[in-house]
Amino acid sequence: MAQGARLNCRGVVAYDGTRYAGFQRQAGDTPTIQGAIEAAIRQVTGQPVTLTGAGRTDSGVHATGQVIAFEVAWRHPRQELWRAINATLPGDIALQSLEEAQAGFHPRFDARSRVYEYTLYAAPVRQPLLDRYAWHARADGPLDLVVMRQAAALLIGARDFATFGQPPQGETTIREVRRSELAETVEPGSGAQVIRYTIEANAFLYRMVRRIVGALVRVGAGQVAVSEFEAAFRAADGSWPNQTAPAQGLRLTQVIY
């Protein structure tokens, strides 16, 4: 394929992470989101590319607002590149937008904050249409949203989150949480209590959101008092016994610049 001027691209990607071992490319034939997108771009342009992403989502985690960047030689309109990549990608990955990026743009290091959403539900029996993207967290009654909100509010601000995660590459465990809130709906038909937890922070520790959700569910189920939750959080002790919510309920919804 004839090559044209270099094009710096910035895109927003949505994906179902169920069958992928996370976002970041891995050795061998391990399926990853980055690997699938790079393969599609290579097939369209005939050029090997290395893209960067705003968040390294774990195995089984989804996204509707992952931001990526890459550079490629392209002599046609940018919209044609966007359409061609989408036509080549697997059905569980879609490029929501493709724009020209400013020189030096980096989706991870330029981000001011990221927003994740976790979906869980309480119901007497499993709900197959929810299970792919939500955690069946409780079967013996609804969760107490009042005390869960009290616990979630304690996380706001610049705090040491060592209780809920590990830092990548030995970094500090201090993070600034700007939003930590829960919303509740009732699933039509089944009557399942569906809870969506939204958290925004400047950065996240490894499995931080899933460990927070696991603790909030224990609070809502009456297994842990809000005072115990607070004491464990303030202690910044990663050895606190706590469940980690499963991956399928988590998705990266927005990256803010």
**So which residues are the catalytic ones?**
58
Q: What φ, ψ does residue 88 adopt, rounded to 5°?
A: -100, -25
Helices (H), 46-187: 78-88, 128-131, 145-153
Give whole-number Cα distances, 76 to 82, 161, 215, 218, in Å. Answer: 11, 47, 51, 54
Residue type, 156: I
Contact 185, 194 (CB under 8 A): yes
- Count CA atoms within 13 Å of residue 46 on its CB side: 7
Q: In Å, what is the CA distance from 177 to each residue of 51, 96, 180? A: 28, 27, 7
Q: Which two structure tokens, joined as six digits, stand for 109?
A: 């290091």
DSSP for 87-149 reads: HHS-TTEEEEEEEEPPTT--TTTT-SEEEEEEEEEE-SS--HHHHTTSEEEESSS---HHHHH
Question: Which of these, 231, 249, 227, lies nearest to 240 by C-alpha position?
Answer: 231
